[in-house]
Structures are given as structure tokens and as C-alpha cells.
């Protein structure tokens, strides 16, 4: 199962909104096939695993055990049901990392295998299997995207100058890591002031991967069209109170002014089928997510050699558990879970 999880991670950034899944076929303690879900809409892990079996090993398939990190699907989606293929190949035993929470699967794959007479072992490395697809699980169980808060700050906890002008805080190594983070999430969100004063592009330029959907809160549609977020390089959604509609690669999503902006945005992302979002600023927007308890993970970058006098204070986390940290040259990165 550890090998299944290792394989599954190779699909990161390519399979969403599907989960990452790995599969291994074993005969007499020898791996004769392995595969993972490589791209959304393409073959699932079980199919790639079975197809990888060499010609001389194919006679052993019906005497092998299939290990898979997530319950095999039992419905017709973009591909046929994997449970049907497993039954067709007469694989006698299936070992599953965890159950699939998606309503069209959620136990149906397991029942189909058992009804066909297969031996099914469940919840092997269950915690690790769920954690691998925490975005997918969160989306289907909590009915909202997985929310990551991220900011960079000086050593005295400032994120910008007092006049909101931009300060380049993180170093080139951390900047590259941030672009990797962006490539792993479905969307990236900023507020009006960050768009106006920092003029970020919010794309993946320092890492090979897919651009996230750019999200900007501009309630009065006051941002000038010359900003980089309007350059058409990625699908962009503008949350506002004035208009609703789509123009080329730009979508206007109308909110109301009398309800929580955070909760309206989160609900919108769920209905837009965006399973994860990284919130990159500014301070007021980040603090709004924190105050409403609407976050799952926080990543705080601190330049330990930089001080900003009389600058804009960083957000303040509440109700958190620290789970790891790392150092990249002048920058330290602290990772937190919402308690």
C-alpha cells in the first residue's frame, strides 16, 4: 500500500477534480503490475496497473492480489467502472486503502467486488490514504473547498509598507516553492488591495504545472483593466456586487453586500467544482478567513533577515496546531493545521 501511495502522488496537479490513486498487482510477493491515475479523464490507476502486466505474467493475474489506495469506482464516468474490470480479470483479492466518499461510489465499488465473490480487505493505511486526497475528501464530505492560507512576512511580522506598497519578502528558492504550491491547487484568491498595489499575475511561471483559476474580490469593479490579472493567461473570476456573466477567459460572479463575503465565496467555489483554494492576501482578507474559522491549513513564510518599520501587520492565526517547518536560506516556513 505504501507503493500505491507513492505512485498516486505522481498524479498531483494533473488529475483534479478526480483523486490521486495508485494500484499495485502482486503475485506470490512479486509485483507484476503497477499504475496510477495520470490525467483527468484518462484511465484510472487500476486500468493502468493491469495494462502494465508483461505478457509472460498475464497468466498470473487471476491468482494475484490487487492493492489500490482508494475504493475502485463502480459507475460509468469518463471511463468504465474499474470494479467491473477487476471482476472481469478474475482477480480474487483486493486490498483497499480507504473508502471513496464520492456519492456515486461510496461503498458501491466494495459491494460490487464482494457480490462477485472477491475477498476485500479495507482500510489499510487508511489515514495516509485519506490525507493524500484531503482536498477531495474535504470537498465531498464538508461540501466546500480545501482552504490554504499563505503569506510572507518580515521578521517583525509585517507584510507590506504602511502605504500598502509592495515589499519583496521571500527569496528566489521560496518563490519557486510558492509557484509549486499554486500548481497543486484548483484556485488562488486575492483581495482588491493586493490586486491594486502588488499587481500579481497569480500564474505558475517558476514551476512546471497548470495555472490555478485566479479569483479576485472586487466588490465595486474598481480595479483598472491594465492589471495583470486581466491579461487572459488564466481563467479569472471577479467576485463583485454589480454584474454576473462571462467574457472570454473572464467570469464575473455576483455576490450580495449584506452577507459574509468569505462564506459566499466559499459556497461559490463549491458550486464551481473547485476543490481547493490558496488565499494569498491581503491581510484583511486572510484575517476574515481566520476569524470565520474558514481554513484548513496555513503556510507562513518569514524572512528572518528583513525588518519593516511601521509596516502593515500580518494576520493573526487562532485555533491552530503547528505540524511542520522548514528553512530555505533566509526564509523559514511554518505549516499549521486548523484545530
Residues annotated as catalytic (active site), given as ranges:
46
State which H helix or E strand residue 171 sits in.
Answer: none
Cα–Cα distance list, 179 to 149, 185, 197, 205 (Å): 14, 10, 20, 7
User: Do the Cβ atoms of 197 and 160 come closer than 8 Å?
Assistant: yes
User: Do the Cβ atoms of 292 and 332 come closer than 8 Å?
Assistant: no
| Cell (9 digits) for 105 | 461510489
**CA Rg value for the chain:** 23
Do strands 245-247 and 236-240 pair parallel, antiparallel, or not at all (unpaired)? unpaired
Report the number of secondary-structure helices (H) and strands (E) in the chain: 10, 17
Exposure string of 5-15, with b = 16+ CB inside 10 Å and e = fewer, is bebbeebebbb
Please name which of 89, 81, 131 lies closest in space to residue 108, comparing C-alpha atoms.
81
Strands (E), 210-330: 213-217, 236-240, 245-247, 250-254, 276-281, 297-303, 312-313, 320-328
Amino acid at each position: 500500500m505504501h507503493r500505491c501511495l507513492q505512485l498516486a502522488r505522481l498524479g498531483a496537479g494533473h488529475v483534479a477534480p478526480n483523486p490521486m490513486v495508485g494500484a499495485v498487482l502482486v503475485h506470490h510477493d512479486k509485483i507484476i503490475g503497477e499504475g496510477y491515475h495520470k490525467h483527468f479523464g484518462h484511465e484510472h490507476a487500476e486500468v493502468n496497473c493491469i495494462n502494465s502486466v508483461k505478457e509472460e505474467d498475464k497468466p498470473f493475474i487471476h491468482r494475484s492480489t490487487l492493492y489500490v489506495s482508494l475504493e475502485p469506482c463502480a459507475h460509468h464516468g469518463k471511463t468504465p467502472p474499474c470494479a467491473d474490470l477487476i471482476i472481469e480479470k478474475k482477480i480474487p483479492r483486493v486490498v483497499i486503502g480507504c473508502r471513496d466518499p464520492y456519492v456515486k461510489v461510496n461503498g458501491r465499488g466494495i459491494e460490487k467486488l464482494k457480490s462477485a465473490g472477491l475477498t476485500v480487505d479495507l482500510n489499510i493505511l487508511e489515514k495516509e490514504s485519506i490525507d493524500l486526497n484531503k482536498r477531495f475528501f474535504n470537498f465531498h464530505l464538508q461540501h466546500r473547498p480545501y482552504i490554504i492560507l499563505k503569506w510572507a512576512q518580515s521578521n517583525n511580522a509585517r507584510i507590506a509598507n504602511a502605504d500598502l506598497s509592495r515589499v519583496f519578502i521571500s527569496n528566489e528558492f521560496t518563490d519557486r516553492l510558492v509557484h509549486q504550491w499554486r500548481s497543486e491547487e484548483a484556485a488562488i484568491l486575492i483581495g482588491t488591495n493586493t490586486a491594486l498595489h502588488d499587481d500579481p499575475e497569480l500564474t505558475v511561471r517558476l514551476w512546471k504545472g497548470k495555472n490555478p483559476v485566479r479569483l479576485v474580490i472586487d466588490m465595486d469593479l474598481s480595479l483598472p483593466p491594465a492589471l495583470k490579472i486581466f491579461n487572459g493567461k488564466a481563467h479569472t473570476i471577479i467576485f463583485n456586487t454589480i454584474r454576473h456573466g462571462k467574457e472570454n477567459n473572464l467570469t464575473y460572479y455576483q455576490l450580495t453586500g449584506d452577507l459574509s463575503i468569505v462564506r459566499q465565496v466559499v459556497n461559490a467555489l463549491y458550486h464551481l467544482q473547485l476543490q481547493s483554494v490558496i488565499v494569498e492576501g491581503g491581510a484583511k482578507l486572510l484575517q476574515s478567513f481566520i476569524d470565520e474559522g474558514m481554513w484548513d491549513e496555513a503556510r507562513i513564510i518569514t524572512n528572518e533577515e528583513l525588518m519593516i518599520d511601521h509596516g502593515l501587520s500580518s494576520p493573526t492565526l487562532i485555533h491552530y496546531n503547528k505540524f511542520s517547518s522548514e528553512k530555505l536560506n533566509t526564509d523559514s516556513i511554518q505549516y499549521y493545521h486548523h484545530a
